[in-house]
């Protein structure tokens, strides 16, 4: 049990650093209007990543780290899936209208972060099974 908590806290710290960095980069690019590959100029997307990073940080400092780890991972996965759907919708829109679309230009860091949420989703699934309906 202690080894599991150590892993969760260490992994939460990694996710905190990654999501905070990505959030600040997106936020600052949104303020300047410039964007680089995988990091669009998106103030609100950056703020959401910063909020998700705060959930992971809170889990590092709390005894019930599993709950924060699971919820932060769920938020990260939902946010990533949302941008995956937007990615495919933009591609479909370009196909229907006949306009140019570059998949590389529409990729976002949130999509790349989905695999990092998988361990937390497995913790979430474990707790979901033991909670009453």
pTM, two decimals, is: 0.85
- Give every CB contact of residue 17 below 8 A, 6+ residues apart in sequence: 53
What pLDDT digit, counting tens, does each position of 3-39 carry? Answer: 778 888 899 999 999 999 999 998 988 888 777 777 8
Q: What is the mean pLDDT of the segment spanning 103-132?
A: 81
Structure tokens at 131: 């909670």
Provide, rounded to the nearest whole percent, the portion of the chain with pLDDT above 90: 45
Task: With beta carbons less than 8 A apart as the criterion, state whether 71 and 77 touch.
Answer: no
32 against 130, higher pLDDT? 32
Domain ranges in the chain?
2-130
Band (89; pLDDT cuts 50, 70, 90):
very high
Backbone torsion region of residue 41, taken as left when φ is above 0, otherwise alpha when ψ lies between -120 and 50, otherwise beta: beta
Residue 67's CB is within 10 A of a number of other CB atoms, namely: 16
Per-residue pLDDT at 36: 79
Per-residue pLDDT at 119: 86
Backbone torsion region of residue 35, taken as left when φ is above 0, otherwise alpha when ψ lies between -120 and 50, otherwise beta: beta
- Which residue shows structure tokens 């949104």? 30
Burial class (CB in 10 A: 0-12, 13-18, 19+), 68: buried
What pLDDT digit, counting tens, does each position of 95-114 carry? Answer: 999 889 888 878 888 999 99
Q: Whole-angstrom Cα distance, residue 97 to residue 103?
A: 16
Per-residue pLDDT at 67: 84
């Amino acid at each position: 049990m202690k080894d599991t908590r150590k892993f969760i806290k260490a992994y939460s710290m990694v996710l905190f650093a990654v999501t905070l960095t990505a959030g600040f980069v997106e936020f600052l690019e949104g303020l300047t209007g410039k964007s680089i590959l995988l990091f669009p100029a998106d103030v609100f997307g950056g703020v959401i990543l910063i909020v998700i990073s705060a959930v992971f940080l809170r889990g590092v400092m709390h005894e019930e780290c599993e709950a924060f780890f699971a919820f932060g991972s769920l938020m990260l996965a939902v946010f990533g899936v949302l941008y995956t759907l937007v990615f495919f919708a933009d591609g479909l829109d370009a196909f229907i209208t006949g306009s140019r679309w570059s998949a590389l230009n529409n990729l976002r860091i949130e999509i790349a972060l989905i695999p990092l949420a998988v361990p937390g989703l497995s913790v979430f699934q474990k707790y979901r099974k033991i909670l009453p309906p």
